[in-house]
């Protein structure tokens, strides 16, 4: 086979593989009244509330998971500053057990597969006094996360 044919077959397989999804996600699909639910606090100070409850199992502490998410912080003027999100990629992100910041990891243990959770993560459970490109030191982080699949 020529290089062009091999390259074409590889490209076709990548395109076709990307078109097939065994999960569905929809960031606008919330339970009725979900935004009025109170946040619950973990011992660490991370707060969470379920925005979509599917009744499925959440990941266990030793499980990885696939998610779609949006992360933001609130600036000094009260504006929402998005620092990371996966939706524009069209593909969920995989987090191995313990691979995320502590507040994200601990919060996800309360989100059922197929569900959505909102997290408020204090600096000590996020990036602390580290400075990142879009996250100043000691920032409180906010996330909306859809748990696509437990591993």
Please give the pLDDT value at position 24.
66
Q: What is the pTM of this model?
A: 0.82
pLDDT category of residue 16 using cuts at 50, 70 and 90: very low
Count structural domains, the chain.
Answer: 1
**Angstrom distance (rounded) from CA 7 to CA 124:** 48
**Angstrom distance (rounded) from CA 36 to CA 47:** 14
In a domain, 14, yes or no: no
Per-residue b or e along 56-76, where b marks 16 or more CB atoms closer than 10 Å to that residue's CB = eebbeeeeebbbbbbbbbeee
In a domain, 5, yes or no: no
**Angstrom distance (rounded) from CA 14 to CA 143:** 30
CATH of the domain at 95: 3.10.50.40
Terminal alpha carbon distance of the chain: 38
In a domain, 8, yes or no: no
In a domain, 10, yes or no: no
pLDDT tens digit string along 64-118?
Answer: 999 999 999 999 999 999 999 998 888 899 999 889 999 999 999 999 999 999 9
**Domain containing residue 103:** 24-150
Is 20's pLDDT higher than 90? Answer: no
Question: Is residue 81 within 8 Å of 75, Cβ to Cβ?
Answer: yes
Higher pLDDT, 11 or 84: 84
In a domain, 103, yes or no: yes
């Amino acid at each position: 086979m020529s290089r062009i044919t091999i390259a074409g077959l590889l490209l076709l397989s990548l395109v076709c593989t990307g078109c097939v999804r065994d999960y569905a996600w929809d960031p606008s699909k919330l339970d009725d009244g979900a935004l009025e639910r109170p946040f619950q606090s973990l011992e660490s100070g991370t707060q969470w509330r379920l925005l979509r409850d599917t009744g499925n199992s959440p990941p266990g502490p030793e499980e990885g998971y696939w998610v779609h998410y949006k992360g933001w912080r609130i600036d000094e003027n009260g504006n929402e500053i998005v620092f990371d999100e996966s939706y524009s990629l069209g593909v969920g992100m995989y987090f191995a057990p313990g691979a995320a910041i502590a507040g994200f990891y601990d919060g996800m243990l309360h989100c059922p597969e197929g569900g959505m959770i909102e997290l408020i993560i204090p600096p000590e459970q996020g990036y602390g006094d580290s400075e990142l490109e879009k996250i100043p030191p000691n920032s409180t982080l906010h996330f909306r996360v859809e748990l696509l699949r437990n591993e």
